[in-house]
Amino acid sequence: MKRFMFVVSLVSIVAAAAYGAGEDFDFVILGDRTGGHVPGVYGEIVDEVNLLRPDVVVTVGDQIEGYTEDRERLNAEWDEYWEIADKVEAPFYVCPGNHDIYNDVMLEVWKKRAYVDPCYSFDYEGVHFVILDTGRWESSEEWLEESGYRGWLEADLARHKKDRMTIVIYHIPFWYDTLADGEPDPLHEIFKENGVDAVFNGHYHLYANAEYDGIPYTIVGSSGGGIEEEAEYLGVYFQYVWCTVRDDELAWTVVKKGSARPPDAVLVADLKTIDGIEAELVRVPAFPFAADQAEASCTVFIENATAEEFTTAATWEVPDNWTLEPASRDVTLAPGDSAELEFAATLAGELYPLPEVTVAYPYRGELVHEFKTGLPACRVQPVKAVAAAPTVDGDLGDACWREAGTADYFCAPDGGPCTISPTTFYFGYDDEYLYVAARCEQEDMEALVVTGAERDDFVHADDCVGFFFLPDPAENVFYQLYANADGVIYDIAYTFEEPMELDTEGVEAWNADCEVATARGDGYWTFEAAIPVATLGVDRVVAGDQWRANFRRKEQAKKSSADWQYPIGFDPRRFGYMAFE
């Protein structure tokens, strides 16, 4: 089996280095297989790579879904992976990603199933390859300080300065947040000092290329890991990279299922431009929209940050339940100019589906990014003061639930009509507690999916309810809490910054100090919780307070969910409002 090409110790790999020139050869770099993987894609790419007959195949990480300490599950996932990867006919080398090694148990399993140290090097025809394990760190600085491999890396690269070529491969492209923004990167300094010729990464499930101080940096896109939809101009499509070594030159082509793409198909500069379009150059500010409201004013903000004048339009796709006046507005902007386009929205039926606006934003020649977003009408959920706290036992017969605010109208994940069984949420409060509950109708109780058994298991993949709470936007922290039909909790807190960027460092271990219970009846299950507002960073709650929030119920038998505010996700600017009455 070709994966045993490196079943030797790290010391013997280094000792076996072949210095000097060698024969010309070809090698393939495979992208991420996992991260919401699409079954079958990786195997199809392996078959295609075998047809091209490369001399070596190497990965950029994320071979398994991982993120667990369950050894049985990890070994099953590795069995599944090797059943596919064993078909690779060339010598085969795997790089660890964050889905492969994220905790000590995963590290132990990696060493047994990948048959190699997580950081290692090997040589082929005078070319030195260095594989680094970076999935447990957030930056080059952290990796150099905490991984324990800095000395090994510097010594390994120094020994091979005179080799034909040196190529470094690691999973997370730390440089995207440093070099690409004009900031220094300490790993890059080590690479420069030791004559590294190229760097390849994965993680982002898209292809992009840049060059810094003469060293090309390339992000390899997905070879099976999940992508929302193919977007060739963003480098988002299932792919691998074909590399050639001729004399002392390295060249490569990104390949999409048999079709080639040049190295500059998507520039890092393009991604940064599109990041800017999505974050600030086109904006549609959210606004509260109460249940008894029928009209609202909506603004589309567009700024021209290019070097050329352009003409574009904000055009609405309007479903029958809404009217937008006007349906489209054109605007011509000189470089540096901006415009605020006003629209009048009128609701003539149910809230969902929402109108969607599109702005075609030109950049880099004839390339155009289509900015799309739904009408940001943010719902308002009343939260009623209750006279007495409930007994948290899953029985919703307590008087407080008859006093509470309720929600029973939802949408599907795509913003269309809800397709799952009827669901009702309840919201009440007193000075110190937020009380939340849900009744979830279920046609077939035997079809309930409940696999999470311990706190912070994959509860959101079960039949469950979930909440997002942002009590104080000034604190830039929101809290996510899911509970499955057995009352097992998944909870995490996120920090965020503007433009929208999430960070879990320092708060990802947050556990809600709350009381939760569930119960099952004939054709339904219930959820009930008492959440101290202090665990959400609030001293007390009084009438007139307003939080940003969202919530949902997932029904796995119908492979869908009931979402309160569309779109549900991790952008608190699109959360609805909880109004404490």
Q: What is the pLDDT of residues 344-371, one digit of tens each?
A: 999 999 999 999 999 999 999 889 999 9
Cα–Cα–Cα angle for 385, 390, 394, rounded to 5 degrees? 130
Residue 187 backbone dihedrals phi, psi, to 5 degrees: -65, -40
Where is pLDDT greater, at 263 or 422? 422
**Residue-level pLDDT at 475:** 84
pLDDT, tens only, 257-287? 777 567 888 899 999 999 999 989 999 999 9
% of the chain surpassing 70 pLDDT? 94
Q: How far is CA 369 from CA 146, 278, 312, 359, in A?
A: 39, 9, 11, 8
Question: CA dihedral defined by 286, 287, 288, 289, rounded to 10 degrees?
Answer: -100
Contact 64, 99 (CB under 8 A): yes
DSSP per-residue codes, 241-286: EEEEEETTEEEEEEEETTEEE-TTSSBHHHHHHHHHIIIIIEE---
CA dihedral 398, 402, 405, 409 (to 10 degrees): 100
For residue 92, give Cα distances in angstroms to 47, 59, 153, 365.
Answer: 14, 8, 21, 40
Nearest in space to 443 (alpha carbons), one of 463, 465, 468: 463
Q: How far apart are CA 88 and CA 78, in angstroms?
A: 15
Tokens 């719902």 -> residue: 379
CA dist 37 and 34 (Å) reads 4
Distance of alpha carbon 88 from alpha carbon 47, whole angstroms: 8
Flag whether pLDDT at 301 surpasses 50: yes
**CA–CA–CA angle 456, 462, 468 (5° rounding):** 60
- Nearest-10 crossing angle of helices 104-113, 71-85: 40
Cα 505 → chain centroid: 15
* Cα four-point dihedral sign 130, 135, 140, 144: negative
The predicted structure's pLDDT at residue 325:
97
List the strands of the sheet with 215-219, edge to edge: 120-124, 127-132, 165-170, 198-201, 215-219, 208-212
**CB-CB contact of 578 with 541 (8 Å):** no
pLDDT score for 508: 57
Amino acid present at 115: Y
- Tell me: pLDDT of 474 over 90: no
pLDDT in tens, 506-535: 455 789 999 999 999 999 999 999 999 999
**Average confidence (pLDDT) over 5-24:** 45
Q: Give the residue-averaged pLDDT of 76-80.
A: 96
How many CA atoms are closer than 13 Å to the CA of 380, on its beta-carbon side? 15
pLDDT at 489: 96
Query: Contact at 8 Å (CB) between 118 and 124?
Result: no
- pLDDT exceeds cutoff 50 at 16: no
d(CA 334, CA 312) in angstroms, rounded, equals 12
Name the token pair of 165. 């070529």
In this model, does residue 11 exceed pLDDT 60?
Answer: no
Other beta carbons less than 10 A from residue 213's beta carbon: 9
Tell me the pLDDT tens digit for each residue of 88-128. Answer: 999 999 999 999 999 999 999 999 999 899 999 999 999 99
The long-range contacts involving 564-569, CB below 8 angstroms and separated by at least 24 positions, are 564/379, 564/381, 564/407, 564/410, 564/425, 565/378, 565/379, 566/352, 566/354, 566/374, 566/411, 566/415, 567/374, 567/413, 567/415, 568/413, 568/468
pLDDT of 507 reads 58
Contacts of 374 (CB under 8 A, 6+ apart): 354, 355, 356, 357, 415, 566, 567
Per-residue pLDDT at 182 exceeds 60 = yes
Answer whether residue 302 shows pLDDT above 80.
Answer: yes
Instruction: Read off the pTM.
Output: 0.72
Q: What is the mean pLDDT of the chain?
A: 92
Query: What one-letter code names the amino acid at 207?
Result: Y
Q: Is the pLDDT of residue 501 over 70?
A: no
476 confidence band (pLDDT: 50, 70, 90): confident
- Enter the tokens of residue 360: 């075609």
Q: In a 3-state reduction of DSSP, which class is residue 47?
A: helix
Q: What is the pLDDT of residue 468?
A: 97
In this model, does residue 406 exceed pLDDT 60?
A: yes
Q: For 250-257, what is the mean pLDDT?
A: 93
pLDDT tens figures, 137-170: 999 999 999 999 999 999 999 999 999 999 999 9
Cis peptide before 499 (omega within 30 of 0): yes
| pLDDT of residue 15 exceeding 50 | no
Q: Which domains does the chain have, with CATH numbers?
A: 23-266 (3.60.21.10), 278-374 (2.60.40.10), 378-580 (2.60.40.1190)
| Cα–Cα distance measured from residue 187 to residue 282, given in angstroms and rounded to the nearest whole number | 35
Which CA distances in Å does 59 have to 35, 46, 363? 15, 11, 32
Instruction: Determine contact, residues 98/68, Cβ cutoff 8 Å.
Output: no
Query: Is the Cβ–Cβ distance between 238 and 227 less than 8 Å?
Result: yes
Closest to 465 (Cα-Cα) out of 479, 480, 447: 480
Separation CA 187–CA 169 (nearest Å)? 12
